[in-house]
Amino acid sequence: MNHTHSTHCKHCHQSHDAGLSCTCEGHHVHETECSCSEHAHDHSCECTSKSGDGSPDDDGEDIRLHAEISYHILKLDCPNCAASIVDAVKHLDCTKDAYLQFETAMLYVVVDPDYDLLKAKQEVIKAVRSCGEDVELTDAETCELDVQRTWYQEHRDVLLMVLSGISLLIGGISEYIWGVGQTSTTFYILAAVFGLIFILPMALSALKRKRADMNVLMSIAVIGGIIMGFLGDADVFRDAAIVIFLDQIGEWLEGWSMRKTSSAISELMKLAPEYAHVVRGGSTEDVLVADVIAGDVIQVLPGERVALDGVITKGVSSLNEAAITGESVSVDKGEGDEVFAGTLNEGGVLTVRVSAPSSESTLSKIVEQVQNAQSKAAPYQSFVNRFAEVYTPFVVIGAIVVGVGVPGIMSFMGYGSEGLWLTWVYRALSLLVVACPCALVISTPVSFVSAITCAARKGVLVKGGASLDAASKIQSLVIEEHSLQGN
């Protein structure tokens, strides 16, 4: 049944569409009436006649609006990891729903109203850490929640990767000098074990949630390789060590690439200075931009960027607005003209009356729209994510068929030979390793995030990956070139 939800706000006596924020001020509750039947329910109640998967919104907008808990996930490097975090948090007794915007690494959690919020925060953080990730906390939050981490916990991934690499290197040198023997085998096993210590807790956590992710595939492959080594094929120890070390390197490189991409959004915010020269009582003092309010008067010196949106009350200058408008030609402005935060003053001293606080500046709105746009997945990205959900279980089934079914059938038909089982089990383990879907899943979001943030730095706002996907189908583009100077 197709229907709409309308929300009546008791505070401002207005109606709003469900999922849209109320324009009135103050904290209050919206009651939602569903037109599908004669009953009322709030946003947390699911309508039984609603079609689809029951999620409040495809892009998580409703969850973001009603989330009691929101955390920035540190060093989030792949969509598979993001899916594992959401799955872990949703399985908690204290949560009603959760959404993680991968491109900005922000986790939003709707908490059960009957549950203690402090305890809920502790459980959410514990669930995130069980997936091998962590949340960004201030020192005060860390003490309040009693979730301090030891030095080992903070540097665990890098430490284990280094130990695995050193062990692998020593094992390789030993094998080169003395051949395959006890020394090289010992260090190869150590390298594999250090790698397993890194991924095995995450694999066990995924299995508890009945989810087979890349950590499960890699753990099965490496453990199987070690078992095969002890059964007589010593060369497999080296293969297992190399595979797990390369997996750790791959994880680190993915994290590095995603952090580099995400930092582009931070660079947009850095266009506006941290302090503004506020004119008060005939003198000028430097004040944090966040503390400046509408109506204050600020000065903008030559060579500085405008701190806040406003209107020029004194002075004439040329401003470079490329970061906001995308126009490369500087614009001459004087008394009564509007200026934008982040634009560069290339001429004289300007006195500006602030028209909006920093949170409502044009630059802040651009950053917000870029972040919201990134959550709108392109058709390709949605397909890849759905494909990965069913792909991993089929890989595990395929590996079982290769490692057990094929040699079993061959032995039953009388084609068995010495080493038959070891050969096919080795092939099954190799299938698990090469079939990990992480690179496939990460390819589309990284491409779209890079394009969106790059365009935003150049003053072009792209409304999501879907728009980029549509632009890729353009065959002809007509541009009317003109100059602001009228030449």
Tell me the pLDDT tens digit for each residue of 361-416.
888 877 776 666 555 555 555 565 566 667 778 888 898 999 899 999 998 888 87
What pLDDT sits at residue 162? 94
Helix (H, G, I), strand (E, B) or coil at 383: helix
Structure tokens at 151: 């030095």
Residue 16 DSSP class: E
Percent of the chain with pLDDT over 90: 24
Helix ranges, 435-485 (H): 438-457, 465-471
What pLDDT sits at residue 247? 80
What pLDDT sits at residue 285? 92
195 or 429, greater pLDDT: 195
What pLDDT sits at residue 109? 93
Query: Each residue of 74-83: b (16+ CB within 10 Å) or e?
Result: ebbbbbbbbb
Contact 448, 375 (CB under 8 A): no
Residue 132's nearest CA partner among 190, 204, 44 is 204
CA dist., res. 408 & res. 439, Å (int): 33
What pLDDT sits at residue 51? 32
What pLDDT sits at residue 25? 39
CA dist., res. 445 & res. 449, Å (int): 6
Alpha-carbon distances, residue 186 vs 218, 304, 378, 429 (angstroms): 21, 61, 48, 21
Query: Each residue of 170-194: b (16+ CB within 10 Å) or e?
Result: bbbebbeeeeeeebbbebbbbbbbb
What pLDDT sits at residue 33? 38
Q: What is the pLDDT of residues 242-264, one digit of tens each?
A: 988 888 887 776 666 556 555 65
Residue 372's nearest CA partner among 449, 272, 261, 450 is 449
Measured from the Cβ of residue 408, the count of other Cβ atoms closer than 10 Å reads 15
Residue 40's nearest CA partner among 48, 49, 31 is 31
Q: What is the pLDDT of residues 66-122, one digit of tens each?
A: 788 989 888 776 666 787 888 889 989 999 999 887 767 789 999 988 899 999 999
Residue 253's nearest CA partner among 89, 391, 78 is 78
Measured from the Cβ of residue 228, the count of other Cβ atoms closer than 10 Å reads 21
Q: DSSP string spanning 176-205? A: HHH-SSHHHHHHHHHHHHHHHHHHHHHHHH
Q: What residues form DSSP beta bridges with 70?
A: 108
User: Can you give the pTM of this predicted structure?
Assistant: 0.57
* 38-52, 160-174, 252-266, 446-460: segment of lowest average pLDDT: 38-52
Contact 271, 458 (CB under 8 A): no
364 contacts: CB under 8 Å, gap ≥ 6: 269, 341, 358
Percent of the chain with pLDDT over 70: 70
What pLDDT sits at residue 22? 44
23 or 461, greater pLDDT: 461
**First CA to last CA across the chain, in angstroms?**
59
Is the pLDDT at 269 greater than 60? The verdict is yes
What pLDDT sits at residue 373? 56
What pLDDT sits at residue 412? 87
Mean pLDDT, rounded, for 111-135: 89
Residue 92's nearest CA partner among 214, 206, 209 is 209
Is the pLDDT at 439 greater than 90? The verdict is no
Mean pLDDT, rounded, for 229-235: 80
What pLDDT sits at residue 377? 54
Is the pLDDT at 476 greater than 90? The verdict is no
60 or 210, greater pLDDT: 210
What pLDDT sits at residue 190? 95
Contact 347, 434 (CB under 8 A): no
CATH number assigned to the domain with residue range 275-360, chosen from the 4 options 2.30.40.10, 2.40.30.110, 2.60.40.10, 2.70.150.10: 2.70.150.10
Contact 302, 349 (CB under 8 A): yes
Helical (H) or strand (E) element with 165: helix 151-178
What pLDDT sits at residue 100? 87
CA dist., res. 381 & res. 383, Å (int): 5
Contact 465, 452 (CB under 8 A): yes
What pLDDT sits at residue 79? 65
Is the pLDDT at 6 greater than 50? The verdict is no
Is the pLDDT at 468 greater than 90? The verdict is no
Cα dihedral: 384, 389, 391, 395 (round 10): 150
Q: Over the chain, what is the mean pLDDT?
A: 76
Residue ranges of domains in the chain: 1-54, 153-267+377-443, 275-360
Quickly state the pLDDT bin for 323 (edges 50, 70, 90). confident
Is the pLDDT at 7 greater than 60? The verdict is no
What pLDDT sits at residue 261? 55
Is the pLDDT at 12 greater than 70? The verdict is no
For tokens 């009388």, name the residue.
414
Contact 238, 332 (CB under 8 A): no
Contact 355, 293 (CB under 8 A): no
